[in-house]
Amino acid sequence: MARNRVAIVGAGMTKFVRRAQETSKELAWEAASKALESCELTLDDIDAVVIGSAPEAFDGVHMKTEYLSDGCGGWGKPVIRGFVGGGTGVLSVIQGWYHVASGIFDTVLVVAEEKMSACQPHPQGAFITIFDNITERALGPNLLWIFALEMNAYMTRYGLSKRDIALVSVKNKRNAADHPAAMLGDPNITVEDVLNSEVLAWPVQRLDVSPVTDGAVAIVMAAEHVARRITNKPVWVEGIGWNLDTAYWTNRDLSYPTYVEEAARMAYKMAGITEPRKQIHIAEPYDPFDYKELHHLEGLLLFDKGKAAEATALGITQRDGDLPVCPSGGLLGVGNPISAAALMKVAEIFWQLRGEAGARQVPGQPKRGIAQAWGDLMQVGTVVVLGV
């Protein structure tokens, strides 16, 4: 199938904060304007806009696409918004990719925004309605249940301890100390801090989980002939993949994310990757909880099942390790404005591959990286492989 080669040519973001004074629309504009500025374009140069944002319930504003569109530069342009829960930020890049790869558009502005703080008394309330309305909601669930149940299944299957998993939180929060937009960077955090934090829903403790966050991220994507005029350092989208598992989540083996593997295989095939462990140099898997980074590294086929924790303990996933993982600081460190957090991961790979990540720059001039997000009812995997 003939398709145009697509590059990312610019990226920008807001700081990630617990509560921003800006409205959702204002945050979207801040990120979009920074992305355009980064590649010296104006909105006139943009053919179409892709918006990524998670549930309307956070904002209490229905038809959020329309509400956000002005801030995303969508006025008078073709606009689309896809939504797969936490997987949305990477899905928006996939949508941006096929907008350009299809030949319909030369330039696309992709904006992911999330303002969770408006939802009272706690944004967790917006998640109650993801549970089955008849057979589950009556039991009084909250969002942490599904993570806690999955984490316990994962730990038990592979005989992992809380300490094994806490190392991920420590690594990412330390990495985030070097990110200028980070909310929870902490160069001095220790495993003991994580293990001694408040128990929320065992095995999940306070520092195992990413925080409620407001923020926005934007990137500019362009067809090859345009990208080469915009920048001498285009970062190519080499592969994309996405996959959805059944919503009957209590019928699945929660210890392994098959849907992430399927999404990764789709992306690897497109990118011509046959040995991901050799050909992927840097990874930003989705880490809303510390165990999820491990879970996803295994789903991405970067480590054997149950072995990602051992690799973490050996330092392989540190910024100066063989496979730097979440050098940005991830959701655990930079923050987790749902869809924006996942697009932040794509932006991080973009900056890393261009050698522009500043204090976070991984050594060895990485040539290829992967970003992955996850969401819905523990059932969606979205993957993008970028290269230079």
Partner 1 sequence: MKEFVYNCVSLSEEDFTQGRVLFETWKPVARYAWDAGIAIGRYLRELKNGRLIGVHCPNCGRVLVPPRMFCQDCFVPIDGFVPLQDTGTVVTFSICYIRWDMVRLEHPLIPAVIAIDGASPGMGILHLLGEVKPEDVRIGMRVRAVWKPAEERVGAITDIRYFKPIE
Residues that bind partner 1 (CB under 8 A): 11-15, 17-22, 27, 30-31, 33-35, 37-38, 60, 120-122, 124-125, 127-128, 131-136, 138-145, 148-150, 152-153, 156, 180-181, 199-204, 214-215, 246, 248, 250-254, 347, 351, 356-358
Closest CA to 119 of 26, 31, 54: 54
Name which of 325 and 347 has its Cβ closer to partner 1.
347
Half-sphere exposure of 59 (CA within 13 A, CB side): 23
Name which of 99 and 252 has its Cβ closer to partner 1.
252
DSSP string computed for 48-67? EEEEE---HHHHT-SSHHHH
- Strand 79-82 and strand 380-387: the pairing is unpaired
Q: How far is CA 368 from CA 268, 353, 363, 384, in A?
A: 12, 7, 13, 11
Name the strand (E) or helix (H) holding 108. Answer: strand 107-115
Q: How far is CA 5 from CA 51, 226, 229, in A?
A: 21, 10, 14
| Residue keyed to tokens 């996933």 | 317
CB count in 10 Å sphere of residue 39: 20
Q: Which two tokens stand for residue 189?
A: 């955090």
CB count in 10 Å sphere of residue 249: 18
- Number of residues that make up the chain: 388
